[in-house]
Amino acid sequence: MASHSLAPIKPLILTRTVEAWSDRPYISEAVPIPATVVHQPAMAAPYTPKKDGPEVTQKKIDHVFVDYEPFFHRLMYHRLSDDYSGGEASLFMQDALELDSEALNHRVAGTFVQGQITVINGSSGSGKSLTCAKGLLKFGGIPLTCPIGAYGALSDEANAGRGSHDMRAAVEHLEQRSQFKQITADPEQEATNRRLVKESCMCLLASHLLVIRKILCSQPHDLSCEKRKEECGIFQLDAMFFRPTPGGQDIFQRLFKVLQRAPHDVVEDFVENDWEYVDCHYPDVVKDFSLWVDEAQALASKFDSGAHFLSTTKPKKPRPLLTPVVEIFMERKIFKRCVISGISVSPQIFNVALQSSTARLNSRIVELTIADGFLDKEEQRRYIVHKLRPWADEIGISEESFDYLVLRMTIILRGRYRLTAFCSEQILRTGTKSPHRFVTAVVLALGNFVLTDGGKFESAESALSKREEDAIKAAGQMIDWDMFEEFDQDTKRSVFEMVTRFLMQGLYTALDGNQRKLIEVGIGHLTVAESISPRVVPEGPVISTNNAAPDDGADEDNDSDNDSDDIDDNDDSDDDDDDNGDTTSEPPLIVNATTDAKDPSGAGAAYLTELLTVSAVMAKYPERVADTLLQGMRLGLNNSMNGFAYEPQISYVAAKVHGHRDKFTSLGNLYQFHAEVAFMADLQVQLVAMFKGPDGKWRATQAGPGFGPSPQMGYKVNSPKEFLEHLDDGGATCIVNPDVYHGGDHIRWYKVLGSKHYIMVVDQAKLSAGKDGEFRPEMLKKALRANDPRRYYKTKGPSKKRKWLVKEGKKILKCFEEMRKAEDIDSNNKYDPALLPPGLTEENFPHTICGFALTGTDQPPAGFVSEMHRVLNRPGQVPALMLEEPFEELFGTSWRFATTAQNRATRPVGRM
């Protein structure tokens, strides 16, 4: 019986190496063939291999199969799929065999286009390889995994379940051939190159047909056709797993090495004989026989910077290695179709490589685009539960702890299939009994982000073992930083803008086609807007959407009360007809987006999908977030644009001032209070993120730059409906920018040292400068009217005919009340009234702070603090004025100039 070695822990290299891609995009114009000789780089040992005769070749093949004889003998009574029922085998292969989602099955069915070339498009980690694997197991065929792809250079320790490494051997063999050269003045050179490629391709084909024939002959006669195809596919996908002894090459590598030393006509005989036998004796198995080329972007860029191959339809245009490979395999008439999977870093990368092949093969290209990652959080949750539930039951993890672990993983690993599968696989491989600590350590290693939401479950677990720590260290890194440093300055700036916009408000950023390509290759996976929506950001450095009402009197349009003193405190009474609101949930919004998500150039609006990618960039370049926020205001062309840029600056400053890990800081570091409530400045607070647990109850944990339950600190909503959806989804952000029907511009929560209470802070941002930088008198009235937490989420009318101005208002206010009772899952607070400042008691404890952030003028008027205190100070509610000194400390002394530059005679008009 074959001894199955434990598949090694593979490194999670989430970006491609520089060598994996051509550093120059393909240019569609005609490329003249140079008349001068192109000097080839010196090779270690150029050679023309000595050929073996047919008898010697057959003996070597028999010798390889002798080593595998126990394995083939076992196929008579054992099914290979049974080897993937435990935690030792590849989770990728388990998914290919077991995963039964409607979306995946639909994608697999979509690859079945008889006689055509199907191209599966999608970004890294979205499930293209899984689609190919599942398709191979269902329809049958031969898989080819390209030598360099989304996992870096393939090695013996990497990528269990994603195919043999024989394609890498074939490319290396080709590059070593002394006859393989760039096309020069010799018109026969391209024919020589194609002949060498054909020899390698036939060796690959012969090795797979030899193994497939041997597997089919070793199976019981009554085995179903579906099982026969499945077992042939399993062995080809996970050949490393079925080696007789650990280490060494898989069977396809060994056979390729034998066949490459045989004369070409001998290899052709093997192909003809084995295919004739399989087709004659097992016609149902090969009825849909297909060629599956995974990670094909590597072959689509291989040799495209130098003319090694030319288009058959346009002889002066060079083509990459993928072109002759597809043509050579498909010309054999063995395969009914070809399925090519790869990252579309350029919109035309596969069309360019295959357009001459389609003409030559009398076929056409059918594109299948895979949606990014899981369809939703629920699908991701089901996947994690399916994979980890047996392990959790085996080691005795409580139901409560397991549900909480699944919740944490869906928050921090949202998006792609790959990260979730990787983390789940490492948990199963290590068999850890400290899963919460393990997830926290994985996140720290990959994204340099400290998870604080482990709570009592993480505290109760033991420290990780050395084996578990080594498994985490083997994860690699999220970003190829060397490649990032080679980016041009505009692309780097786009990355920093993308990180900042998403970090502070969860918004998209406009990118051109080249920037999108570079970022996906060197930084990480992008989620691209399918259509223009309120979350799509206009071009330039403005760090916000432009759908909020500017200070031009728009506030009055939504006001039904002109006197801010008339705000009704008894909002929850007589609300039986709360669903009969006379205001719609979706206000009309105008978005000035200048890019189209379906632009053929690849331009579009996008954000980085993985939260850990965002945190990794921020951790490495923390100062660039502040620079980007400041630049947004410097280049604003009017008061409204500068006001939009001011909002995320407030979020950033609040997070930096009060978002310290395991540390409370004074409210007075950011706010000025009226003399009557001056004790509020001494209150020690810490910024928290609120999120819902598996039981639907709210939890609170410390949060700030670099730590928390999620790297995304802020979220900008565009309607009451979206606000309620964000709250119902569980939050997990520190700061929310409410919609236009809420008076405040920022909502965040603080926990208080010595108290079990939370304080909700509602900040109103006003760019207050008028002509010559003077304070606009109407600012005071507008700010006071806007900044009552229930200003727009309230009822209106006589007690018997009250209606909610916004139909979601009641539910939003109910969420606020539930959040006030959130469980503090940290262990860094002491509930001791003695720690509270003198003058603060349970009776006068403020549940809400109405904050005002005013800029654009040197000084607010002397009576501003007194007036806001007179109007808004009431039981449980205290107004405060945000200080400007923290802004200058964090953004530099030029910040004040940036806030007032729009009032000067000369102002910048350039755009980034």
Please report the pLDDT score of residue 393 as a whole number.
93
Judged against a pLDDT cut of 70, whether residue 152 lies above it is answered with no
User: pLDDT class for 563, splitting at 50, 70, 90?
Assistant: very low
Alpha helices (H) in 320-416, listed in sequence order: 322-330, 349-361, 377-395, 399-412
User: pLDDT class for 279, splitting at 50, 70, 90?
Assistant: very high
**Contact, 773 vs 856, CB < 8 A?**
yes
Written as six digits, the tokens of 828 are 């860094």
Judged against a pLDDT cut of 90, whether residue 549 lies above it is answered with no
Which is nearest to 718 in space by CA: 809, 586, 592? 586
User: pLDDT class for 292, splitting at 50, 70, 90?
Assistant: very high
| Mean pLDDT, residues 241-263 taken together | 88
Judged against a pLDDT cut of 50, whether residue 282 lies above it is answered with yes
Please report the pLDDT score of residue 738 as a whole number.
83
- Could you say which DSSP state residue 380 is in? H
Distance between CA 447 and CA 321 in Å, rounded?
Answer: 35
Judged against a pLDDT cut of 70, whether residue 450 lies above it is answered with yes
**Contact, 423 vs 432, CB < 8 A?**
no
Residue 578: how many CA atoms within 13 Å on its side-chain side?
16
Judged against a pLDDT cut of 60, whether residue 455 lies above it is answered with yes
Please report the pLDDT score of residue 315 as a whole number.
66
Q: What is the percent of the chain with per-residue pLDDT over 90, rounded to a whole number?
A: 31
pLDDT 10s digits, 47-94: 555 788 889 999 999 999 999 999 999 999 998 888 887 656 677 888
Residue 885: how many CA atoms within 13 Å on its side-chain side?
7
Helix, strand or coil for residue 150? Answer: coil
47-84 in b/e form (b: 16+ CB < 10 A) is eeeeebeeeebeebbeebbeebeebbeebeeeebbebb
Distance between CA 760 and CA 734 in Å, rounded?
Answer: 11
Average pLDDT, the chain: 77
Distance between CA 498 and CA 607 in Å, rounded?
Answer: 6
Please report the pLDDT score of residue 187 as a whole number.
73
User: pLDDT class for 122, splitting at 50, 70, 90?
Assistant: low
**Contact, 180 vs 196, CB < 8 A?**
yes
292 has which bridge partners? 143, 339
User: pLDDT class for 868, splitting at 50, 70, 90?
Assistant: confident
**Contact, 886 vs 669, CB < 8 A?**
yes
Q: How would DSSP label each residue in 480-540? A: -HHHHHTS-HHHHHHHHHHHHHHHHH---EEE-HHHHHHHHHHT--EEE-SS--TTSPPSS
- Could you say which DSSP state residue 569 is in? S
Distance between CA 771 and CA 564 in Å, rounded?
Answer: 27
Judged against a pLDDT cut of 70, whether residue 545 lies above it is answered with no
Q: Which residue reads 């409560």 in tokens?
A: 400
User: pLDDT class for 371, splitting at 50, 70, 90?
Assistant: low
Distance between CA 519 and CA 537 in Å, rounded?
Answer: 18
pTM: 0.71
Residue count of the chain = 912
- Could you say which DSSP state residue 906 is in? S
Which helix (H) or strand (E) segment holds residue 114: the answer is: none
233-257 in b/e form (b: 16+ CB < 10 A) is bbbbbbbbbbbbeeeebbbbbbbbb
User: pLDDT class for 305, splitting at 50, 70, 90?
Assistant: low
Helix, strand or coil for residue 274? Answer: helix
In the chain, the N- to C-terminal Cα span, in Å, equals 65
pLDDT 10s digits, 81-113: 888 876 566 778 888 888 776 767 777 887 777
Please report the pLDDT score of residue 541 as a whole number.
33
Distance of CA 574 to the CA centre of its chain: 46
∠ CA 254-256-259, nearest 5°, is 115
- Could you say which DSSP state residue 397 is in? -
| Mean pLDDT, residues 414-423 taken together | 80
Judged against a pLDDT cut of 90, whether residue 276 lies above it is answered with yes
Alpha helices (H) in 6-143, listed in sequence order: 54-67, 69-74, 91-98, 102-110, 128-139
Least confident of 266-280, 365-379, 741-755, 768-782: 768-782
Which is nearest to 864 in space by CA: 754, 799, 778? 778
Beta-strand (E) ranges in 433-483?
450-451
Which is nearest to 668 in space by CA: 649, 677, 78, 567? 677
Distance between CA 167 and CA 366 in Å, rounded?
Answer: 24
- 886 CB neighbour count, 10 Å cutoff: 16
Which one has a higher pLDDT value, 873 or 142? 142
Please report the pLDDT score of residue 15 as a whole number.
39
Written as six digits, the tokens of 599 are 């632009």
Which is nearest to 850 in space by CA: 660, 642, 677, 643? 677
Q: Which residue reads 């780097």 in tokens?
A: 492
Q: How would DSSP label each residue in 319-332? A: E-THHHHHHHHHTT
Judged against a pLDDT cut of 50, whether residue 151 lies above it is answered with no
Least confident of 186-200, 264-278, 710-724, 780-794: 780-794
User: pLDDT class for 192, splitting at 50, 70, 90?
Assistant: confident
Distance between CA 481 and CA 124 in Å, rounded?
Answer: 17
691 has which bridge partners? 699, 731
Please report the pLDDT score of residue 652 as a whole number.
92
- List CB contacts of 431: < 8 A, sequence separation 6 or more: 87, 391, 395
Written as six digits, the tokens of 210 are 């030899």
Least confident of 327-341, 637-651, 768-782: 768-782
∠ CA 839-844-850, nearest 5°, is 105
Distance between CA 300 and CA 350 in Å, rounded?
Answer: 7
Distance between CA 131 and CA 162 in Å, rounded?
Answer: 11
| Mean pLDDT, residues 388-414 taken together | 93
User: pLDDT class for 379, splitting at 50, 70, 90?
Assistant: confident
Please report the pLDDT score of residue 646 as a whole number.
83
Least confident of 522-526, 542-546, 603-607: 542-546
Please report the pLDDT score of residue 96 as a whole number.
83
Q: What is the percent of the chain with per-residue pLDDT over 70, rounded to a whole number?
A: 72
pLDDT 10s digits, 809-847: 888 888 989 999 999 999 888 888 888 888 887 778 888
Least confident of 29-33, 214-218, 322-326: 29-33
Please report the pLDDT score of residue 150 as a whole number.
35
Please report the pLDDT score of residue 769 as a whole number.
55
- Could you say which DSSP state residue 70 is in? H
Distance between CA 157 and CA 904 in Å, rounded?
Answer: 63
Distance between CA 652 and CA 505 in Å, rounded?
Answer: 10
Helix, strand or coil for residue 432? Answer: coil
Please report the pLDDT score of residue 791 as a whole number.
61
Judged against a pLDDT cut of 90, whether residue 540 lies above it is answered with no
What are the backbone angles phi and psi of residue 111, rounded to the nearest 5°? -80, -15
Least confident of 192-196, 259-263, 416-420, 716-720: 416-420
